[in-house]
């Protein structure tokens, strides 16, 4: 038996520059390194075809995502209804290899009767209906909030499709508890990422960093909060780095000489920013899923200052300084800027990060898919 499988991704997973695509791309990279032969199927919108993926996979096939109005009006969640393809169904039926559906978004064919005897896995990025319900309560945009609320209702109803999965691959302990209790077929596989070994620099940096995809509403809200309430109170350079910063955020930052916006940094620049910062500040509005920016900062950065929502029940609280109020965050950030990152801190963190290593989770995933 060859170690061959199909993976269906919700977007083109290169470049790996935001949460879901980071996990997707580096899972593909790690599985390829362990001998898996991957037939990759990507729904595409807004990203270029990738030669990098061609080098890692036996085959790569692209399918247009249908974002027309009728998909919004579907009884299925929009994130699922917009990712349907008869061509994909035909391609999956050409052989009998296992199928990994990457995200609930890609599961439109999970219950297809002709796939009933196939081994099927779903990578659960979140408890999606809970995430969408939470996001419907943020921001003042009525149309966006209505979409999130309606999508949450559809997702909660649709989620029972997971009964057709042989195994749900969860990202966090809280998600594991939810899916195992509800479906009895879940396995915790921590997120994959770019760091095969910890790369933390010892010593000191001269700035604080927050990073994230600023086209995501949660990140936009957090960045605005930092620019208004936190960074102006810190007497050090504070950098906000991420994709597509909104004009409103740029305007807020411009009021303060110590705040810099770095828009759309390439992956290598972002990695350097994380690695060279003295403090990585990590704030989340919700506890849903596993925050990959937390994993990246812990593998590559020095001090990590996070709020409780960011760390959640991940087992990583000991690797971070946990503060929740604006006053506590400011006070701790100023204190940490005076504290060099020591060898002993790096060693202690490396031990805590072992369950999050790519090699550990890659080997476990290979055994699950190819028993």
- Tell me if 61 is assigned to some domain: yes
Residues 274 and 173 in one domain: no
Residues 68 and 172 in one domain: yes
Q: How confident is the model at residue 222 (pLDDT cuts 50, 70, 90)?
A: very high
Residues 96 and 178 in one domain: yes
Residue 313, pLDDT score: 82
CATH of the domain at 317: 3.40.50.2000
Q: In this structure, what are the phi and psi dihedrals at residue 238, rounded to the nearest 5 degrees?
A: -125, 125
**Domain count for the chain:** 2
Tens-digit pLDDT profile for residues 104-156: 999 999 999 999 999 999 999 999 998 888 878 776 677 778 888 999 999 99
Among 71-75, 121-125, 226-230, the least confident range: 71-75
The more confidently predicted of residues 82 and 134 is 82
Tens-digit pLDDT profile for residues 331-357: 999 999 999 999 999 999 999 999 999
Q: What is the mean pLDDT of residues 322-328?
A: 97
- Tell me if 329 is assigned to some domain: yes
- Tell me if 200 is assigned to some domain: no
- The closest alpha carbon to 314, from 301, 339, 295, belongs to 295
DSSP notation for 11-45: S---S--SHHHHHHHHHHHHHHHTT-EEEEEEEES
Q: What is the mean pLDDT of residues 225-235?
A: 97
Residue 290, pLDDT score: 65
Query: Half-sphere exposure of residue 329, counting CA atoms within 13 Å on the CB side?
Result: 22
Residue 140, pLDDT score: 63
List, edge to edge, every strand of the sheet that includes 4-9.
Answer: 59-64, 37-44, 4-9, 99-102, 120-123, 167-170, 186-188
Among 75-79, 212-216, 304-308, the least confident range: 212-216
Q: In this structure, what are the phi and psi dihedrals at residue 6, rounded to the nearest 5 degrees?
A: -105, 140
Tens-digit pLDDT profile for residues 192-213: 999 999 999 999 999 999 999 8
Do the Cβ atoms of 369 and 98 come closer than 8 Å? Answer: yes
Q: Which domain holds residue 54?
A: 4-194+356-369
Residues 132 and 269 in one domain: no
Q: How confident is the model at residue 289 (pLDDT cuts 50, 70, 90)?
A: low
- The closest alpha carbon to 29, from 1, 2, 50, belongs to 50
Residues 259 and 136 in one domain: no
Residues 39 and 183 in one domain: yes
What CA–CA distance (Å, rounded) separates 135 from 150? 11
Do the Cβ atoms of 287 and 321 come closer than 8 Å? Answer: no
Do the Cβ atoms of 131 and 288 come closer than 8 Å? Answer: yes
Residues 88 and 166 in one domain: yes
- Tell me if 202 is assigned to some domain: no
- Tell me if 132 is assigned to some domain: yes
Q: What percent of the chain has pLDDT over 70?
A: 98
Residues 342 and 272 in one domain: yes
What CA–CA distance (Å, rounded) separates 47 from 39? 19
Tens-digit pLDDT profile for residues 156-201: 999 999 999 999 999 988 899 999 999 999 999 999 999 999 999 9
Residue 139, pLDDT score: 64
Residue 134, pLDDT score: 82
Residues 69 and 19 in one domain: yes
Among 9-13, 17-21, 221-225, 366-370, the least confident range: 17-21
Q: What is the mean pLDDT of the chain?
A: 94
Residues 181 and 157 in one domain: yes
The model carries a pTM of 0.86
Residue 71, pLDDT score: 87
- Classify 333 as helix, strand or coil: helix
Among 91-95, 210-214, 284-288, 313-317, the least confident range: 284-288
Q: Is the pLDDT of residue 1 over 60?
A: no
Residues 213 and 296 in one domain: yes
Residues 174 and 322 in one domain: no
Q: Is the pLDDT of residue 366 over 80?
A: yes
- Tell me if 320 is assigned to some domain: yes
- Tell me if 222 is assigned to some domain: yes
């Amino acid at each position: 038996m060859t170690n061959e499988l199909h993976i269906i991704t919700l977007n083109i997973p290169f470049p790996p520059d935001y949460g879901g695509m980071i996990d997707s791309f580096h899972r593909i990279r790690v599985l390829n390194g362990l001998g898996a032969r991957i037939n990759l199927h990507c729904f595409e919108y807004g990203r270029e075809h990738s030669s990098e993926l061609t080098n890692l996979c036996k085959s790569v096939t692209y399918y247009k995502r249908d974002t027309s109005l009728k998909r919004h009006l579907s009884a299925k969640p929009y994130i699922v209804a917009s990712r349907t393809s008869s061509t994909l169904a035909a391609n999956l039926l050409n052989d009998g290899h296992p199928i990994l559906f990457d995200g609930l978004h890609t599961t439109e064919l999970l219950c297809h009767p002709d796939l009933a005897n196939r081994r099927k896995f779903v990578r659960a990025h979140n408890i999606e209906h809970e995430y969408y319900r939470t996001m419907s309560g943020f921001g003042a945009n009525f149309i966006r909030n209505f979409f999130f609320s309606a999508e949450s209702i559809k997702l909660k109803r649709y989620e029972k499709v997971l009964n057709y999965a042989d195994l749900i691959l969860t990202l966090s302990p809280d998600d594991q508890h939810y899916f195992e209790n509800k479906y009895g077929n879940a396995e915790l596989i921590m997120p994959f990422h770019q760091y095969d070994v910890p790369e933390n620099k010892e010593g000191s940096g001269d700035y604080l960093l927050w990073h994230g995809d600023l086209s995501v509403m949660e990140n936009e809200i957090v960045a605005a909060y930092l620019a208004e309430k936190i960074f102006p109170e810190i007497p050090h350079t504070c950098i906000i780095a991420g994709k597509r910063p909104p004009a409103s955020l740029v305007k807020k930052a411009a009021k303060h000489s110590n705040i810099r916006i770095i828009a759309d940094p390439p992956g290598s620049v972002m990695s350097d920013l994380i690695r060279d910062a003295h403090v990585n500040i990590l704030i989340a509005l919700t506890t849903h899923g596993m925050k990959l920016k937390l994993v990246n900062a812990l593998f590559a950065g020095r001090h990590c200052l996070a709020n409780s929502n960011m760390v959640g029940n991940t087992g990583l609280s000991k690797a971070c300084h946990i503060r929740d109020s604006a006053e506590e965050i400011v006070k701790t950030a100023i204190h940490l800027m005076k504290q060099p990152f020591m060898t002993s801190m790096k060693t202690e963190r490396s031990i805590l990060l072992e369950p999050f290593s790519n090699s550990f989770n890659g080997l476990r995933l290979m055994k699950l898919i190819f028993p």
